Chains A and B, each alone.
Chain A
Amino acid sequence: MVSLFRAEWSKIAGNRIVLGVFIWIFPVTAFVFLILAAISAAVSEQFRVAINAAPPTWTNQALTTWSFVNSEIGRFMLVGFAADVFGGEYQRQMWKNLLPRRRRLPLILNKFLTIAVYALTAFVGMVIIVTVMSGLVTAVAGAPYGPAFGDMSGADWLQFLRAVGSQASISFAAAIIAACYAAVGAIITRSILGAIVVGALLNLFEQGIAVAIALVVSITQQGDLFRLYLYTPGYNLANLSSWSTYGNGYMPLFIERYNCCGAFSVEASTVLVLAWIVGLIALTCYLFVRQDIAN
């Protein structure tokens, strides 16, 4: 398995354009953005005043950066990356070279693993860059960058690490689900472009399903239909994020007024998100294992 992982890793590493555009863009953009912020702090009095008025804390920076991964842009980057990793094998007609060398299941699971490791490396890199370089920006602006390590008690550290762990897990799960959509698209369409289109559409569908259900409910007045939305990965990720940030569940206002259902618990949402990830990976594997590679 280590050998297979190394093969996939070096294969992806050699594709510098794809890796640069979809993966390294996370830490690189953060770096460039903060360099510009530091320059602005050095040259602009107004900017320095703004920073001093509400100086960022490194704990907050470390936490909020993860939400970028869970943004639309972050998800689409992962869709593009996964589309190339999975769809590229069809487009370059490489499966016929690979499949006689290894069973299908480890080959496809290894792709998920490698994507996850690449994505995690990029995300962690971005968070470290943002957290460290925000200190540089505040230093240039002459603002404090707390809290000092000495001021944090054991309980504070624990709370911080728990929050970061939880936020990182949620964002990482969102990224993996986006990648799974692209993987399914790649297996079905057998192309990179097809994978991007299917992946993007599934992501949009997931975002738009609440609106679609709201339209149906406004016509039928059957508020219970909103329960369907509660089983989507998008809702459960938002719910977990709400539990992690505010200590209570998430329920969109337009659903709340129908009083049809309550927010899921942390446990229920965790199980549902995991079920979606496992289900999508299993679907990808099932389709791939049964597929004829005829070109």
Chain B
Amino acid sequence: MTALAIETHSLSKQFGRKKKSVLAVNKLSLQVEANQVYGFLGPNGAGKTTTIRILLDLVRPTSGEARLFGQPTLRAHEVLRRVGALVEGATFYPYLSGRKNLEVLARTGGYYDKERIDRLIHQVGMEDRAERRAGGYSTGMKQRLGIAAALLSDPDLIILDEPTNGLDPAGIQEMRTFIRSLVKEQGKTVFLSSHMLGEVEQVCDRVAIINKGSIVREGKVADLLSEHARLRIDASPIDVASEVLSRNWRVMRSDGVLLAEAAREDAPAMIRKLVEQDVQVFEVSAHRQSLESFFLSVTQEESDGQSVSG
């Protein structure tokens, strides 16, 4: 069995008391195996950052437990030495240079190593700007320095909360390659929280989707996307085709074609039925769902379900 880098058991966090309380995380259970990039997705206010803050012992859970590498995180600090994190945007002492900021953070952790700092500054492409005051950095430059700060202790687990915020397309591409290399070449585990669903789809091995404090879907990206497999059918007359197919499958119209909730294996039967009814079939192809549309559909389902039950 692969070792678990992160586990949470019925983790809950409620902020405030009585009527004004907000349940940010609701009985969240999660298991993240080591040596992979794990995506953590959710709309704003879903509880992603609170979960991350609990993992980092910044916030105390109301109930439940969080463990890193098998050890509880609550006020048990030793295991956090194996973790590097960039939480909710990189922040630094604005009056210190980028390099000095890294030095201060490394000394705080007790792992100051000048050569490692030089190497990290080079890795994140900040050589030319490391001596400038961090207060003058752009968001993208701060994010780069934030990644370097997260890697100061040579951690086994790297938690990145929106790491590509403020980066230009080239920077995003670099970041993607960098994150993959952390796993492939250095055997690290990356826990990536992001709104950039395209980016998550490209870089993550598994994802969890969180909504209103709970996990609503979890699994390999490919498996999740095939969960709502669709076939795209270009046929004429479209009304007849729609009527024929809807007897066996859920069908919807989109931009002059039909989208049927069906697997690739259903295609021959589908074509046969259409031909039997004299429908002309021009094309039947697998319609690949993006993570974005999957994400929107599951978070929407969740909201609809709650509004119906509520």
| Residues in chain A within 8 A of chain B (CB atoms) | 3-4, 6-7, 10-11, 14-17, 92-103, 107, 289-290, 292-294
Contact = CB atoms under 8 A, between A and B. Distances in A.
Contact of B56 (A6, A17, A100, A102): A100
A236 B105 CA distance: 40
A11 B103 CA distance: 10
Q: Is the interface of A mostly helix, strand, loop or mixed?
A: helix
Interface string B64-90: 000000000001010011010101100
Given A92-B91, A96-B87, A102-B77, A7 B107 contact: yes
13 contacts: A7-B103, A7-B107, A92-B93, A92-B94, A93-B91, A95-B58, A96-B56, A100-B58, A102-B77, A102-B108, A102-B109, A292-B60, A294-B58
Contacts of B95: 14-17
Interface string B1-37: 0000000000000010000000000000000000000
Contacts, number: 87
A213 to B, nearest CB: 35
A11 B93 CA distance: 8
Interface in B38-56: 50, 53, 56
B91 A97 contact: yes
| Band of interface residues on B | 20 to 34
Interface string B94-137: 11100010011101111010000000000000000000000000
B188 to A, nearest CB: 16
Contacts of B109: 101-102
Given A4-B107, A102-B108, 6 more contacts: A4-B110, A10-B103, A14-B100, A92-B92, A293-B59, A294-B50
A94 B80 CA distance: 17
A153 to B, nearest CB: 48
A10 B75 CA distance: 27
Contacts of A15: 93, 95
Contacts of A102: 77, 108-110
B91 A101 contact: no
B101 to A, nearest CB: 9
A3 B80 CA distance: 18
Given A93-B91, A102-B77, A11 B58 contact: no
Contacts of B105: 7, 97-98, 101
Contacts of A16: 95
B153 interface: yes
B57 A100 contact: yes
Given A92-B91, A94-B91, A100 B85 contact: yes
A3 B110 CA distance: 6
A92 B96 CA distance: 12
